Amino acid sequence: MIKLLKAEHIKQKHDRIIIGLSVAVLIILSFMIIWSTCLADHESHQVLLEDSGKAGLYGLFFFVTILRRVFGLIYGYHVIDMEFINNRQEFFIKNTGRIRIITGKIILGMILLLIMSFLSFIIPFMISLLMFHQFSLNITLAFCQIFIAWLISIGSMLLGIFLRFIVNEFLLFTIIISILEFFSNFFPHQIIDFWTRCDGFFYLSQALVPLKNQLNDLKNQQIYLPHSFHLINGFIIWMGILVLMIIMNMYIIKRKDLTNE
Amino acid sequence: MEEQYIIESHHLKKYFKEKVALENINIKIHKGEFYGIFGKNGAGKSTLFKIILGLISSSEGVLKINDHLSIGYMPENIALYDHLSVHDNIQVTALSAGYDVSEEKMKDILEKVNLPSRTLAKNLSLGMKRRLQLAMATMCKPVDLLILDEPTNGMDVNSVLWLKDFLLQMKKKGITILVCSHSLNVLEQLIDHYYILVDGHIVKDEDWHNELHNQYILTINDDMNEKDISLIKNHFSIVKQEDDKLIIHSDKKLLDISRFIIENHLPVEDIDKEHESLEDIFLESVVEHD
């Protein structure tokens, strides 16, 4: 398994889309925190974020609600797509094995999402600390919220992997998810309902209440959490969905004829 | 006792919707032998390979494959990670298959395929890409069976000669090799057995050695009489008799046949091996069944 992860790591660490996507997410996060604390006008200036712990939580919230889904979906789609470029899947399916390929990708993806969740907390935290020197850190709270953000993100990645087996065109995929994410009014509400219910945020929002409470004093900004499920129920449902998505992806890669894409 | 094959198919069929890709395919692959599968584009060669590899399933028939077979496969298309170096492409393939390539072994592989370590795959020529892919299919893990789909595509003369030598080394190691290629003259000196596919059917299934070595052409002169002919008949089987030519079949070597002719003062002017090239056989089969 270590060798498989090492192989996947070599493939991904030089991949421009993955590097670009990760760097873009972190730059947007950094810019958001700098803008909110320094560059915004007096009315929008967030004094709250001059506290480093809260700045970290704000970064995490921004990641979970806005960036995580697009990042997870595109990442999940691309890690499978990279095996299909130039029809190279036949070679790698045969010389690696279908289940081994997808297992390696899912595990490495989970590690990357954990790192991204951690960085989305730590980068705003460090920026705030360096700029305003107000150290505050509730390690337990930060750890729990990073963990929840990670659990929510995994779903997006698995959905991206699944969608790669359905939609072959990267551009078409990007357009569809962008419209679903940012222009949802174009779609019937049943589709949007289904789309939001595919998401961990819908089930685990109760677990983000401590984070919301920390950020309650943000100016001109109201943090909305759906609170659809009780913490334990939501957690069980979401774990079930994640397991189902993993099984579904494993089944598809095992059964689908991937040689005639 | 029944013969043991590492791959054996019985009445294998493959349909793509209405189109018949393979029909009634019966093949038997012996361990350590070199097999050529020939056919025009669309004859079903790649489909047959994909079924053997388990990449697609057959529609009907039985395919028996030895469970413990480690297969190295090189598809027709280039399947490299363009954004990785030669070194990393080899490393990724080995690690994915569960093997680690030490730096020493890596150096050895790169020397064998004569490729630069740090060059990105996208910057290699087509011939170099094929060599790299061959190295990835054969050297990153122990291989019992090597399946090569059009390995000479895009290769220059030097690369083709390199490939020939490389495959010969593989054969000497006892690796079973299955190749389909349009470069029949290259494979002529390597194959043990061949199949010719036309429109998804096997139209020829022959042992190449038998065809190559057991027939001789005797150029006879006018002094040849019935007595001489019957003497030849007693020792060899006559396949064909033309005006001044006599085609005989014999398991003996050319030297032994020459000695027999001299000792018996037979009026033979010349003796030569019947050598129909693989290309001729292929063209005949295709024309006959088209």
Q: Which of A2-16, A193-207, B134-148 has the lowest mean pLDDT?
A: B134-148
Q: Search chain A and give the residue with CA nearest B133.
A: A91
Within its chain, how far is the Cα of A63 from the centroid? 7
Convert the pLDDT of each residue in B42-57 to its tens digit: 888 888 888 888 888 8
Query: A103: nearest CA in chain B?
Result: B96
Residue B23 has pLDDT above 90, yes or no: no
Q: For residue A260, what is the nearest residue in chain B, using CA coordinates?
A: B56
A91 vs B74: CB contact, 8 Å cut-off?
yes
What mean pLDDT comes out for the span A199-215?
Answer: 88
How far from A248 is each of A102, A210, A253, B148, CA to CA, in Å?
A: 11, 33, 9, 32
User: Of the candidates B250, B249, B246, which has an alpha carbon nearest to the alpha carbon of residue B266?
Assistant: B246
pLDDT per residue over B230-278, tens digit each?
A: 888 888 888 778 778 888 877 777 778 888 888 888 888 888 776 677 7
C-beta atoms of A259 and B55 within 8 A: yes
User: Does this model's pTM top 0.90?
Assistant: no
Q: In sequence order, what are the residues at sequence separation of 6 or more whose Cβ sits closer than 8 angstroms to the Cβ of residue B252?
A: B236, B260
CATH 3.40.50.300, domain B7-209, yes or no: yes
Q: How many cross-chain Cβ pairs, A to B, lie less than 8 Å apart?
A: 88
Q: What is the pLDDT of residues B186-214, one digit of tens each?
A: 777 788 888 888 888 888 787 777 666 57
Contact B55 A91 (CB under 8 A): no
* Interface touch A11/B92, C-beta < 8 Å: yes
Residue with more model confidence, A148 or B183: A148
Query: φ and ψ at B116, to 5 degrees?
Result: -75, 140
List, in order, residues 6 or more apart from A45 with CB less than 8 Å away.
A36, A37, A38, A219
Residue B1 pLDDT grade (very low, low, confident, very high; cuts 50, 70, 90):
very low
Provide DSSP, A120-150.
Answer: HHHHHHHHHHHHH------HHHHHHHHHHHH
Q: Does B133 touch chain A (CB under 8 A)?
A: yes
Per the prediction, chain A carries an average pLDDT of 87
Asked if B101 and B91 touch (Cβ cutoff 8 Å), the reply is yes
User: Does any CB of chain A come closer than 8 Å to the CB of residue B126?
Assistant: no
- CB contact under 8 Å between B95 and A87, yes or no, is no
Q: Where are the domains of chain B?
A: 7-209, 214-273
Q: A15 contacts in B (CB within 8 Å)? A: 83
Per-residue model confidence as pLDDT tens digits over A61-95: 999 988 899 999 999 999 988 888 766 777 777 77
CA B189, CA B212: separation in Å to the nearest integer?
Answer: 10
A240/B228 Cα distance (integer angstroms): 89
CATH T-level fold of B214-273:
Alpha-Beta Plaits (3.30.70)
- What is the pLDDT, as a whole number, of residue B51? 86
